[in-house]
Amino acid sequence: MNGPAHELLEIADDVAAALREGAPVVALESTIISHGMPYPRNVAMAREVEGIVRDHGAVPATIAVLGGVPRIGLDDDALELLGSDPGVTKVSIRDLPYVVARGAHGATTVASTMRLAAMAGIRVFVTGGLGGVHRGAGTTFDESADLTELATSDVTVVSAGVKSILDIGLTLERLETHGVPVLVHGADEFPSFYSRTSGHPAPMRVDSADEIAAIMRAKRDLGLRGGVVVANPIPAEDEVPAGEITGVIEQALGEAEEQGIRGKDITPYLLGRIVELTGGRSLEANIALVRSNARLGAAVAVSYAGRG
Ligand code: PSU
Ligand code: MN
């Protein structure tokens, strides 16, 4: 799982060269492009984030399945396709064999991006928000495969925490059960994506990229399997106040229920609805936090590679 580059993967030349030299590489997911943000902002965001990673000294590797081939590092045309082609399906772990066997296009979630990154030997991954335990999971059993993957793949995932479309408390409990370190960068409270607060204390606080890289090394040296969650609170100036977003999330959840949206469609439905209901305000916050995560993730990759 965490072994060297796998023969099924197609790794872009710049990414392959960086991995060979032990230079810093940052993985990026593609569900956030295809199913997390509207076109054309999604494509602009994807390109901009790659640029931020580069400007901070690491090589970006956006991950997706194209024509059945898991690709590590994409060109501009591939990003455009992922952002605009409605035929691109959302691919979590269980969907990987299906899209590969069919030669189809797939946008990878946190879970499947982590797995493919680990297969390629990439240790740091930047995204917006993690999946987790859905509200009402006590009866629906709806928990994202992001959680089981965090228990499995040795990849550090930098996000802005967990949106309150999910049950944040139960998500933190599950991460604890799975032995996943949850580090909050520069704050004492776990963030809730649009907001720096969630009402849940930070399981562990860190204040620098070097500290995060040191924890990654200690975990490796201890022989512990699985990922690390780094929750990077949205910059204060980009926050959408919790009071403003709570009602919107409640409304979107109610509509999803009414319309009988289920399974893998729930998260994309809620993300799209929240953008509509906030008149695009949530999208600006989303893009701002991804930028901030890209800066931190690149710094972590640089420090972990010993080039800090
Ligand atoms: N949460 C967000 N933005 C996202 C996602 C989650 O705030 O884009 C996406 C990620 O790709 C995540 C996936 O891995 O949704 C989780 O989907 P599911 O709950 O079906 O596992
Ligand atoms: Mn689910």
Residues, Cβ < 5 Å to ion ligand 2? 142
Active site residue 219: no
Is 83 near ligand 1, meaning CB less than 6 Å away? no
* Residue 32: band (very low, low, confident or very high) from pLDDT cuts 50, 70, 90: very high
- Which residue among 146, 163, 174, 232 is best mutated to probe the pocket of ligand 1, counting the most ligand atoms within 8 A of its Cβ? 146
CATH architecture of the domain with range 5-307: 3-Layer(aba) Sandwich (3.40)
Query: How large is the average pLDDT for residues 141-149?
Result: 98
What is the rounded distance in angstroms from the CA atom of residue 164 to the CA atom of residue 192?
6
Residue 116 tokens read as 């493919």
**pLDDT for residue 5:** 67
Is 275 near ligand 1, meaning CB less than 6 Å away? no
The ligand that comes nearest to the alpha carbon of residue 93 is 1
Q: Counting every residue, how long is the chain?
A: 308
Is 110 near ligand 1, meaning CB less than 6 Å away? yes
Using the predicted structure, report yes or no on whether residue 4 has a pLDDT greater than 80.
no
For the chain, percent of residues with pLDDT exceeding 90: 95
Query: Is 0.95 topped by the overall pTM?
Result: yes
Atom of ligand 1 nearest to the CA of 111: 14
Give nearest CA residue, ligand 1 atom 21: 144
Give nearest CA residue, ligand 1 atom 20: 264
Is 269 near ligand 1, meaning CB less than 6 Å away? no
In the chain, what are the domain boundaries? 5-307
